[in-house]
Structure 1
Amino acid sequence: MAALPMGLATPALAQAPWPSKPVTLLVPFPPAGASDITARAINTRLAEKHGVSVVVENRPGANGQLASRMLARAAPDGYTLMVGAIGAFALNAVLYRNPGYDPVADFAPITLAVTTPNVLVINPSVVPLRDLPGLLAWMRERPSQVFHATSGIGSSPHLTMELFTQMTGTQATHVPARGAAAATMDLIAGHIPISFQGLGTVIAPLREGRLRAILVTDAQRSPLIPDVLTAAEAGLPDFEITSWQAVMGPVGLAPALVDRISTEVRSVLREPSNITTLAEGGYTVVADAPAEYRAFQIAEIERWRRVARRANIVLD
């Protein structure tokens, strides 16, 4: 067989292996949150498999905008990625006049890593109810006195409550807290009667009886709280909502490199140990293909844009 002319190579020979040097996984929130938990599920096994350093770098600020802008400016070589939430990759584009990046145009999709449902929770000592019809009646009797706590303006629980009140004809005044843990403590203390929270955030106080769940916003009941009805079972159809974490790279990544990174990331996410550990925290591993995630992301942006416009939520 004749040798290839100088300067030419097959695509397989021309493509460098990935990862072959340290990888940085940006996380746009502090440690111990959902994005951080997901990133560390990826980095540990990826580093072990390939013998390279995979560093989780927490860069919190501006509801995920700081790290997202860093990713948008990163070299498209596959060595700077980000594990971020629905806020960074969908909601900021809906809520902020100028978040400083476009979550579709500025990023290359790698995979939708995990999803987790939100749970409608109440403080049973403040709201002594057990079902959705009773809660709705309670809310309608005191529209100016219903307050709900979330991890912050523009968070998934915030917009979930906005959609809930739109669909049910109720009212609830938003009281943003400094993170999901602080919002949950306000609920437990009785300062706030009601909230939507991510399942992992409230699983412990639910099991302890300090909070009560009215419904879960998933298509199926959660095995962690199997007695809690889905929204459809509770009497609220078409209210399927998940908070989610995805992996992105900067725009400009070569398609073959996107496929390579996605294959590796999805592989480690699907390892049984990761599936089990994440499930214990309320997370379901998705690990889909880049095109599937991109279609999902665009649909999520459009969905929440409609909710934000109807609620007249615009942030500077």
Structure 2
Amino acid sequence: MNRFLQLGLLTCFCLFCSLATAYPYKPITIIVPQAPGGTNDIVGRVVAQRLGEQIKASVVVENKPGAGGNIGTQFVANAPKDGHTLLMTISSAQAINPALYKNPGFDPVNDFIPLAMVGSVPNVLVVNANFPAKNLDDFLKLVKSKPPETYQFASAGNGTLNHLLGEMLNQSYGISLQHIPYKGVAPALNDLLGGQIQIAFASLPSVLQYINTQKLVALGVSSSRRSPLLPEVPSISEKIPGFSGTLWIGLFAPKGTPKPVIDKLQKEMQLTLTNPELREKLQATGVELANMTPAEFAKQLQEDITRWAKIVKASGASLD
């Protein structure tokens, strides 16, 4: 009996090793559940190229946008559990959508295994160049002194991170900016630049060029510390303790993927993210590289799901 047990354990060990050494045996597809050209798409393509070089395999990015990221995310949740279909997603899709949609079509925790947090992107509270307040202190004093809904803020749509950051600002500072949802970042920025609306939260990569050319004024960043790309712009938490909300970007595999494959992907991603050229490219776009283990990433996801669920409920935002 002991001999049979030993043979069984040896067989399992050999299978375990063969899975790790044989993988990948075909191209790896990273699904980005947002449209081409966005922050997640840009990051996904930079990471895919370097991961392919690291793992010595073909790694391609495929965009599957729709329903705020739900379509692509659900696709990966239902994909074969062999490590050849992965998900590069953002916190607004993975941590906010489960509270925003009645049925997003996936479970953010039970359907996925975190492989690596790539980094985070702060949002910036920006105003049109003609807005009377030019710094965060003056902005907060001004909006506090006016009747409710005197000023409006733009977002890329109901339930998006920049919408919820505006609601968080309302709740945490006792003000009442009126929310004006747009159908995407581009039309919101067009009206902000044109003066039809004066206030918005927007991801740093999407507005950095306008801040540098003084077409928009940056008042504060949503991260807990200042951005190296905008060192003179304060973190909003410096004025409103506890205010924090960044857009993180992370890589996931569908739950059920064999552990040897998960272990290999986690190891290869760790090495990929230490590449100096990759780090330089990502930091130039405004991405702050993460220094987080997969276990810490999983904990961060759980905490974000809980935190954003409260904010979504308080905002009254809901999508079908």
Q: TM-score, normalised by structure 2?
A: 0.92
1:131-280 correspondence to structure 2 within 5 Å = 131-140=135-144, 141-233=146-238, 235-280=239-284
* Equivalent position of 1:311 in the other structure: 315
Contact 2:20/2:261 (8 A) holds in 1:
no
- Report the alpha carbon displacement of residue 203 of structure 1 after superposing the two structures with TM: 0.6
| Runs of 4+ more than 4 Å apart | 4-7
* Equivalent position of 1:48 in the other structure: 53
The answer to whether structure 1 residue 294 and structure 2 residue 319 are counterparts is no
Contact 2:159/2:318 (8 A) holds in 1:
no
3-state SS of the aligned residue for 1:8?
A: helix
- Report the alpha carbon displacement of residue 9 of structure 1 after superposing the two structures with TM: 5.7
3-state SS of the aligned residue for 2:77?
A: helix
* Equivalent position of 1:8 in the other structure: 11
Provide the rounded CA distance (Å) in 1 between the counterparts of 2:292 and 2:64.
Answer: 25
The percentage of aligned residue pairs carrying the same residue is 34
Provide the rounded CA distance (Å) in 1 between the counterparts of 2:295 and 2:162.
Answer: 27
1:101-140 correspondence to structure 2 within 5 Å = 101-125=106-130, 127-140=131-144
Using the TM superposition, name which of 254-263 and 7-16 deviates more. 7-16
- Report the alpha carbon displacement of residue 135 of structure 1 after superposing the two structures with TM: 1.5
Structure 2 residues not aligned, in runs of 5+: 1-5
Provide the rounded CA distance (Å) in 2 between the counterparts of 1:86 and 1:229.
Answer: 23
Provide the rounded CA distance (Å) in 1 between the counterparts of 2:309 and 2:26.
Answer: 39
Cα deviation per residue 1:180-213 (whole Å; 9 max; x = unaligned)? Answer: 2332222111111101111111111001111101
**Number of corresponding residues:** 312
- Report the alpha carbon displacement of residue 55 of structure 1 after superposing the two structures with TM: 1.1
Letter in 2 for 1:82: L
Closer, same or farther: CA 5–146 of 1 in aligned 2, 3 Å: same
Provide the rounded CA distance (Å) in 1 between the counterparts of 2:140 and 2:256.
Answer: 49
Contact 1:111/1:287 (8 A) holds in 2:
no
Provide the rounded CA distance (Å) in 2 between the counterparts of 1:183 and 1:135.
Answer: 20
Cα deviation per residue 1:271-302 (whole Å; 9 max; x = unaligned)? Answer: 11111111111101115322111100000010
Provide the rounded CA distance (Å) in 2 between the counterparts of 1:251 and 1:277.
Answer: 30
* Equivalent position of 1:58 in the other structure: 63
1:17-96 correspondence to structure 2 within 5 Å = 17=21, 18-96=23-101
Letter in 2 for 1:132: L
Cα deviation per residue 1:40-97 (whole Å; 9 max; x = unaligned)? Answer: 1111122223442211000110100100110110111100001011122111001111
Q: TM-score, normalised by structure 1?
A: 0.93
Contact 1:157/1:197 (8 A) holds in 2:
yes
Cα deviation per residue 1:79-138 (whole Å; 9 max; x = unaligned)? Answer: 00010111221110011111111111111111111101111111131x221233322233
Instruction: Name the Cα RMSD after superposition.
Output: 1.9
Letter in 2 for 1:248: F
Provide the rounded CA distance (Å) in 1 between the counterparts of 2:150 and 2:125.
Answer: 18
Letter in 2 for 1:256: P
Contact 2:159/2:312 (8 A) holds in 1:
no
Provide the rounded CA distance (Å) in 2 between the counterparts of 1:183 and 1:264.
Answer: 38
Letter in 2 for 1:159: L
Provide the rounded CA distance (Å) in 1 between the counterparts of 2:7 and 2:171.
Answer: 66
Provide the rounded CA distance (Å) in 2 between the counterparts of 1:23 and 1:287.
Answer: 24
Provide the rounded CA distance (Å) in 2 between the counterparts of 1:265 and 1:91.
Answer: 25
- Report the alpha carbon displacement of residue 5 of structure 1 after superposing the two structures with TM: 5.5
Cα deviation per residue 1:144-163 (whole Å; 9 max; x = unaligned)? Answer: 23221122222111111111
Contact 2:33/2:65 (8 A) holds in 1:
yes
Provide the rounded CA distance (Å) in 2 between the counterparts of 1:105 and 1:195.
Answer: 34
